[in-house]
Amino acid sequence: MSKKAYINRSDVKAYLASTDPTVLNYIEQCEVQIDKLAEIGFQLSKERHLPTLLNLIIEEGMRITNSDGGTLYLKTEDDRLAFEIMKTNSLGTNWGGVSETPIPEFIYPVKLYMENGEANDHMISAHVGLSGETLNIPDAYENEVFDFSGTKAFDSKNNYRSKSFLCIAMKNHESDIIGVLQLINAADPETGEIIPFSDDMQKLIESLASQAAVAITTVRLIEGLETLLESFIQLIADAIDEKSPYTGGHCSRVPALAIMLAEKVNQTTEGTFADINFSREDMDELRIAAWLHDVGKITTPEYVVDKATKLETIYDRVHEMNTRFEVLKRDAEIECLKAIAETPDKKAELELEKIAKLEQLEDDQKFLNECNTGGEFMAGDKKDRVNEIAKYRIVLNGEEQNLLPEDWVLNLNISRGTLNDSEREKINDHIVVTIDMLEKLPFPKHLKRVPEFAGGHHETMIGTGYPRGLKKEDMSVQARIMGIADIFEALTASDRPYKKGKTLSEAMRIMGFFKADHHIDADLFDVFLSEGVFQDYAEQFLDKKYIDEVNVQQYLDIEPKALSA
């Protein structure tokens, strides 16, 4: 069996060095170009920012061909070639892409078709954009096939001469033309003389254009998926907004506040967060989690989410209660008239008794209406009074019964707020539903922690929160940021049905208690204070009447309470 002969590249180079140095030099140049092209391909494949990607494409094209200028076009949906980048080194021109100078407004996209529907074949870029044919033109001024009048006008204005052109279509994996790469004025490396683009250069740029098209398509696909995800998130937020206008504002403000705080944490160079460095992907993950943190409220009944008063369900039963009081007052009037008819000599005494009874009913009615708002703490004596009033007897539909049904008494005796225990449980359950819903979604790798971030905003630092009773060490920094953002937004919100918005100082006083009680992350709250996050948020989202002076140092000085062993 014959053995295959393997040729050692080093031996070949040594042989050529001694016999034909010119061939060796050519081979080495080819090796360098191939290695560089492979490196460019790797860079193109990993770049995810479109302007940076486009800039990389044109710079490498100009470098490979030693060109003075270059233009990169991308095809639009209305059959035009939009200028994305324009560069001319000798003129110092660098427009579009990552440059601070955008494409000038007077430079319009190139039409691929004329007004009459015919192909715009007289323009070099349009011809390539339609046909996919590579055009290598040694001298534009000697070419009579294509219209270079615009180029010549540019040259005249800028004391320039656009001579050699290499125009190549960028085709994606489906062979669709997505753009055009145009290079101008290749120069001899040694003399600097403008020369035509060689066949070798053309092949290299065609390879670059092919890789570039795939990279651009990939980036656009990723951007499209991200846009789809963003739109879906917005759709969910809109659904919550439609369900309850009170949570819709919350869903949009919490992400803004969470990102504000995360950015300040990112800028911290000392202390607990000195080593924290959130990437762009980390920030996107947090923002998406913030948008979705209350998605579970879609399943929460509207009458619970929007419950503005204690007696509210589908409607506010306080109106029915007030009607019952009017019945009692009417009955008191009737009883008085009957008594006077039976004992006329006691009319004055009976009138006084009636007035006293009506005044008592008025006072009781006013008291219950105040209880219904849920604005104040219901102490034991207030609950006792509700219970006594509830026992007043009234005849409804021919049946004598208590003035207030047991369910009304239960709701009017809610200690704080407007929700009873059962309703509070339904509200709290939204976070369980949120986590369950988000954990079922197949998030990509860079969004895998969205359920954890979104699901932790009702936890505390000492395990007294819900739904999982997590402690600080069990939670990511982002989840703890969510907690502060959620609470502060809720305190300062003025669109809730069950409370008025609090001023900055009132909200900070409550947040100070939360800091002391380990309800929120003390270190994060200090950043929230010292970096003025609360102030920045207030200026953007709060009415001026809620923005007052806050003694920041007072809350920075608060020390969390010592925990028992």
Tally DSSP H helices, then E strands, for the chain. 20, 10
Contact 333, 354 (CB under 8 A): yes
pLDDT-derived band at 44, boundaries 50, 70, 90:
low
Rg (CA), the chain: 38
**CATH no. for 244-304+422-556:** 1.10.3210.10
Least confidently predicted of 109-118, 242-251, 294-303, 485-494 = 242-251
- Does residue 239 have a pLDDT over 80? no
Contact 563, 462 (CB under 8 A): yes
pTM reported for the whole predicted model: 0.66
User: What b/e string do you get for 218-240 counting C-beta neighbours within 10 Å, with b at 16 or more?
Assistant: bbeeeeeeeeebeeebeebbeeb
DSSP letter, residue 172: -
Concatenating the DSSP letter of every residue in 463-517 gives: S-SSSS--BGGGS-HHHHHHHHHHHHHHHH-S--SSSPPPPHHHHHHHHHHHHHT
Report the pLDDT averaged over residues 440-468: 91
pLDDT-derived band at 17, boundaries 50, 70, 90:
low
Q: Considering the chain, what percentage of its residues have pLDDT values greater than 90? A: 57
- Does residue 470 have a pLDDT over 90? yes
Give the DSSP H or E segment for 82: strand 80-88
How many CB atoms are located within 10 Å of the residue 333 CB? 13
pLDDT-derived band at 4, boundaries 50, 70, 90:
low
- Does residue 1 have a pLDDT over 50? no
The tens digit of pLDDT for each residue in 72-92 reads 999 999 999 999 999 999 999
pLDDT-derived band at 378, boundaries 50, 70, 90:
confident
The three-state DSSP-derived secondary structure of 297-341 is HHHCCHHHHCCCCCCECCCECHHHHHHHHHHHHHHHHHHHHHHHH
Compute the Cα dihedral for 404, 405, 406, 408 and give only its sign: negative
Give the pLDDT score at 75: 95
Report the pLDDT averaged over residues 357-372: 93
The tens digit of pLDDT for each residue in 476-503 reads 999 999 999 999 998 898 765 555 678 9
Cα–Cα distance between 414 and 386 in angstroms, integer?
11
Domain locations along the chain: 47-221, 244-304+422-556, 318-418
CATH level 2 (architecture), domain 47-221: 2-Layer Sandwich (3.30)
Taking alpha carbons only, the member of 442, 385, 435, 449 closest to residue 413 is 385
Angstrom distances, CA of residue 177 to CA of 75, 172, 405: 8, 7, 74
Give the pLDDT score at 36: 64
